[in-house]
Amino acid sequence: MSSEYDTTETLDVKGQSCPMPVVKTKQSIDDLEAGEILEVVATDSGSMSDIQGWATGTDGVELLDQVEGDGIYTHYVKSTE
């Protein structure tokens, strides 16, 4: 599946449930430079709300998009610092 974003890295958290998608996203984004984009692929439906809430409440990250389809929830998170 191609995306409109130029992603630097992909984090696969398929099969994992709360709190893993958020916690691992945080750990992965910390390794990226400002401007780089992380793609997070999850199967946890709660990740739609959780990643959004986390991105809103956390400095240095920006949620670009969330895509849902075929039981897969894909999130695009940009590091801003």
CB atoms within 10 A of CB 7: 16
- Per the residue annotation, which of 10, 12, 17, 18 is the catalytic one? 18
Q: Is 18 a catalytic residue?
A: yes
Nearer to other proteins, 26 or 64 (CB): 26
Q: Which one of 3, 26, 63, 67 is in contact with other proteins (CB under 8 A)? A: 26
Distance CA 79, CA 2 (A): 20
* Region 34-73 residues binding other proteins, contact defined as CB under 8 A: 54, 57-59
Distance CA 34, CA 66 (A): 20
Q: Which residues are catalytic?
A: 18
- The residues that touch other proteins, with contacts defined as CB under 8 A, are 15-20, 22-23, 25-27, 54, 57-59
